[in-house]
Structure 1
Amino acid sequence: MTSLFDRPLPFEAFGQFHNIDAKVQSHLKGVYATLAASVLIAALGATLGQRFAFAFEYPYLVSFACLGFVLWLAMNPEGSSTFGTRAAMFGGYSFFQGVALAPLVWLLAEIDPSIVSTAFLGSVAIFASFSLTALYAQRRVDLWLGGLLSSGLSVLCWTNLLAFFFPSMFFFNIQLYLGLMVFCGYVIFDTQVIIFKATRGDRDVIMHSLELFLDFVNIFVRIASILGKDKKKKK
């Protein structure tokens, strides 16, 4: 829901082709450092979620916890609370997002323990590649991806709803492969939007990190699921 409704197209950026200045570079370092910390916290949540089986027994509580932290961040923008408080809320969201992934990680480990590490390294490589593409692009033409990506995200939402009532591998494969392409595109789009916002004075490290964290998690889930599906088919 956050990905679908909180990504307005900044039309003013379409004609801006300047390089990234020092202040924006400093902001991006903070964003990526926060993102790295959130990924580590999510990994801790996934590990503890498997160990204590909390996500298996109370999945709806985990989902409500994730939603609660996101809503708190959305209702408390930068300046309304201290950075430490907002960072703690983001850390809480990252932790419970990791807990929510515990059943998937456990299932994949049962198929082949190497799938999780391979999927994580693959996600890091893909995320880094698309991020560098956005960072080193001299022109912000990739912002035109926004309309196409929003349409793709809408298709994913509808197929997810249809799959709930009519489960089939067709809808599942759409979620996997189209979803992977959409969120790889969002890495480029979100990175360039963050650069544009930072240039205009919006230096909200937490919310910018959250946008990229959502992209990373969605890429990881789909790569892991694709690897697990292929490995299971071979077995």
Structure 2
Amino acid sequence: MADFETIRRAGAGTMSDIDEGLRSHMNRVYGIMSLGMLVTAVIAYVVGMDFAAARAGQETSFLSPELLQTMFTSPVRYIIMFAPLAIVFGFGAGINRMSENTARGVFILFSAVMGLSISWIFAIYTGTSIATTFLATAIAFASLSLYGYTTKRDISAWGSFLIMGVIGLIVASLLNIWIGSAGLSFAISLIGILVFAGLTAYDTQNIKNTYIAMASAGQTEWLGKAAIMGALNLYLDFLNMFMFLLNFMGSSE
């Protein structure tokens, strides 16, 4: 993959074009990611607050108590739980065959389903603890992403270890659904924070290097979908850091 310093030595004019294009590309990535986070937050809040009201025997605003009971206490909850994972795998496998507009639509759909999947946090944790954790996650994410963007160090070697960590977290989390171990849950959260902190820096540098490689090779037709895939990766990094931090910082209702 193209190295930023190698491109820089190719000429000031070329580098100026790449610098300008890279800034535009990164702004697009963060913009798409932010849109996905907004969709997730709105749906999670609306459904979660109705769920909390239904649990307290109060009147709900949008969804009926019967529908909420089906969604969160019947086997349907497993569909809601695993649907985002299925969409991510399908998206990754099929993005090369999608148009840019289709890929963007699938990303928004995924964000909406993810909002439904995590909506339960508003029935479990206080609003203050959710807001505080979100702020802490945003600060950490911004710092780590800035490091990945600005560092001259090649951190691509982190990738294989971090992916192995993600696979281990998925397996451990699935097992803990049935085991219900508090100790294992604590270990999963701690490791998860570290893994997704590393992935934030790694993915940011990878997005940057991917743009430089495509721009220098004239493959600009792929940059739109590359921005969407980059936004998805950073979205997942942010959301997973938030959820793992919430296990530590969250105060129960």
The TM-score normalised by the length of structure 2 is: 0.75
Amino acid at match of 1:56: F
Tell me how far apart the structure 1 counterparts of residues 102 and 178 of structure 2 sit (CA, whole Å).
40
Q: 1:194: how far off?
A: 1.0
**Contact 1:159–1:174 (Cα < 8 Å) also in 2:** no
Tell me how far apart the structure 2 counterparts of residues 92 and 209 of structure 1 sit (CA, whole Å).
14
Q: Which residue is 2:143 aligned to?
A: 129
* Compared CA separation, residues 89 and 147, structure 1 to 2 (3 A): closer
Tell me how far apart the structure 2 counterparts of residues 69 and 156 of structure 1 sit (CA, whole Å).
18
Tell me how far apart the structure 2 counterparts of residues 35 and 172 of structure 1 sit (CA, whole Å).
28
Q: 1:48: how far off?
A: 2.5
Q: Which residue is 1:56 aligned to?
A: 72
* Compared CA separation, residues 159 and 82, structure 1 to 2 (3 A): closer
* Compared CA separation, residues 144 and 64, structure 1 to 2 (3 A): closer
Tell me how far apart the structure 2 counterparts of residues 147 and 65 of structure 1 sit (CA, whole Å).
25
Tell me how far apart the structure 2 counterparts of residues 151 and 66 of structure 1 sit (CA, whole Å).
20
1:224 aligns with 2:246: yes
**Contact 2:4–2:212 (Cα < 8 Å) also in 1:** no
Where does structure 2 lack aligned partners over 5 or more consecutive residues?
9-17, 51-62, 215-221
| Larger CA deviation: 161-170 vs 113-122 | 161-170
Greater gyration radius: 2
Q: Which residue is 1:34 aligned to?
A: 32
1:177-196 equivalences under 5 Å are: 177-196=190-209
Amino acid at match of 2:136: G
Amino acid at match of 1:121: L
Tell me how far apart the structure 2 counterparts of residues 68 and 146 of structure 1 sit (CA, whole Å).
22
Q: Which residue is 2:105 aligned to?
A: 88
* Compared CA separation, residues 61 and 183, structure 1 to 2 (3 A): same
Moved over 6 A (4+): none
Amino acid at match of 2:118: L
Q: 1:144: how far off?
A: 2.5
Among 98, 105, 115, the residue aligned to 1:98: 115
* Compared CA separation, residues 55 and 224, structure 1 to 2 (3 A): farther
Equivalenced residues, count: 214
Amino acid at match of 2:195: V
Amino acid at match of 1:82: S
Q: 1:56: how far off?
A: 1.9
| Larger CA deviation: 163-172 vs 183-192 | 163-172
SS in 2 for 1:102: coil
CA deviation string 1:69-93 (max 9, x = no partner): 3344234325x33322221211110
The TM-score normalised by the length of structure 1 is: 0.80
SS in 1 for 2:118: helix
* Compared CA separation, residues 73 and 226, structure 1 to 2 (3 A): same
The percentage of aligned residue pairs carrying the same residue is: 25
Tell me how far apart the structure 2 counterparts of residues 151 and 77 of structure 1 sit (CA, whole Å).
23
Tell me how far apart the structure 2 counterparts of residues 65 and 133 of structure 1 sit (CA, whole Å).
32
Tell me how far apart the structure 2 counterparts of residues 72 and 87 of structure 1 sit (CA, whole Å).
14
Where does structure 1 lack aligned partners over 5 or more consecutive residues?
1-11
CA RMSD of aligned residues (A): 2.5
1:126-205 equivalences under 5 Å are: 126-137=140-151, 139-201=152-214, 203=223, 204-205=226-227
| Larger CA deviation: 165-174 vs 219-228 | 165-174
| Larger CA deviation: 201-210 vs 28-37 | 201-210
Tell me how far apart the structure 1 counterparts of residues 82 and 186 of structure 2 sit (CA, whole Å).
27
Q: Which residue is 2:133 aligned to?
A: 119
Q: 1:164: how far off?
A: 3.9
Q: Which residue is 2:235 aligned to?
A: 213
Q: Which residue is 2:87 aligned to?
A: 69
